[in-house]
Chains A and B, each alone.
Chain A
Amino acid sequence: MKPPPDDDLKDLFVTLEPPPGGLTRLRARRDQARSTARPWWIAAPAGLVVAAIALLVLWPRPPPPSGSIAASPPAVAPVDLIADRDAVSLPPTWIGLGRLPAPAEPLSLAGPSALALAAHRVPVADQAVVFYMLESTPSP
């Protein structure tokens, strides 16, 4: 049993009127939902196609055979090593976006260490990993 509301609380919770036309808006919304709802015989095949594409994309691929490590061509030069290069003539972001071609290897570092180090690519099995060896070059 709910007690009658206290007068002081009644004063706090005055009854407000909602904006007019609520039922009309609800009907319009319901009708719109009905008209946009697709019948199952259209929705089901579309869902199957999407699921098949997702399956193909996400299906795990077998790892490359171990003998192919040395034979695999090195991946495209990454942007990280050249991030320290001259930002005016070779902006790393542009190279990353493909607007500028990546410089030929071996990549030289920019800045104060430009003359002291050179990079050589070390092939690894995982194409997502790029491994560089840095070595000293004789001072001029």
Chain B
Amino acid sequence: MSAAEAAPGLGVAEVERLFVDLERPLFNVVYRWLWDRDEAAELVQEAFARLWQARARVRPEGARAFVYRIAVNLAASRRRWRALRRFVAVDDARDAGPDVRPDVAILGAERAAAVREAIDALPEKLRRVVILCEVSELSYAEIARVLEIPIGTVGSRRNAAAERLRRRLHAQENPHEAPAGR
């Protein structure tokens, strides 16, 4: 253990300060999984509740990565669970309004739907990376720690995801153009 590393354990003030710092970026990350404002906010709360439970063994310098990892895993898990419920017709896939989807109010319904579709179409591992890169305010090194992958992989996956997003959105906006080769 290096001298710069603090002993494990977070206090009330540290957890609250972290919440104030991370609530918005974490909400933005989780929202891109769930596309539901209230559910995303509730999941941020849940991630911090887990941090609070584990506060005795979390080092202050690793707390950001810890809470992001928890939130991303919870969001991915909830998304899978929701897909399963829809598959067995327990849940309806309903179009939500701006109350539930704040991005609709900013981007407009059509653009927001296109963006959502493009992000949803990404493979899970690319989606994790690009969302964290674009909205989390984490560095590549921190993202690598959150996702437990090499830093170089973060960059390559982010570029691959960005390329797919651009191509898909371009195809959606220009449906009559022939698809590019490859």
Chain A residues near B (Cβ < 8 Å): 1-2, 5-6, 8-10, 12-19, 22-23, 25-27, 29-30, 33
A residues near B41, Cβ cutoff 8 Å = 18-19, 22
Q: How many residues of B are in contact with the other chain, CB < 8 A?
A: 39
Known: A26-B19, A30-B52. A14 touches B103 (CB 8 A): yes
Q: How many whole Å from B156's CB to the nearest CB in chain A?
A: 13
Pairwise interchain contact B45-A26, C-beta atoms closer than 8 A: yes
B residues near A23, Cβ cutoff 8 Å = 16, 19-20, 23
What total count of A-B pairs have CB within 8 Å?
75
Among B27, B53, B106, B133, the residue within 8 A (CB) of A2 is: B133
A residues near B52, Cβ cutoff 8 Å = 30, 33
B residues near A29, Cβ cutoff 8 Å = 45, 49
Among B19, B45, B49, B135, the residue within 8 A (CB) of A13 is: B135
Pairwise interchain contact B23-A18, C-beta atoms closer than 8 A: yes
Q: Within B24-59, which residues are at the interface with A (CB < 8 Å)?
A: 24, 27-28, 31-32, 37-38, 40-41, 44-45, 48-49, 52-53
Task: With a 10 A CB-CB cut-off, give which of B40, B107, B135, B162 has the most chain A CB atoms.
Answer: B135
Among B45, B48, B134, the residue within 8 A (CB) of A5 is: B134
Beyond the given pairs A16-B27, A18-B23, A29-B49, 18 more chain A to chain B contacts, judged by CB atoms under 8 angstroms and listed by A's residue number, are A2-B133, A12-B119, A12-B134, A13-B32, A13-B131, A13-B134, A15-B28, A15-B135, A16-B106, A17-B102, A18-B37, A18-B40, A19-B41, A22-B44, A23-B16, A23-B19, A23-B20, A33-B49
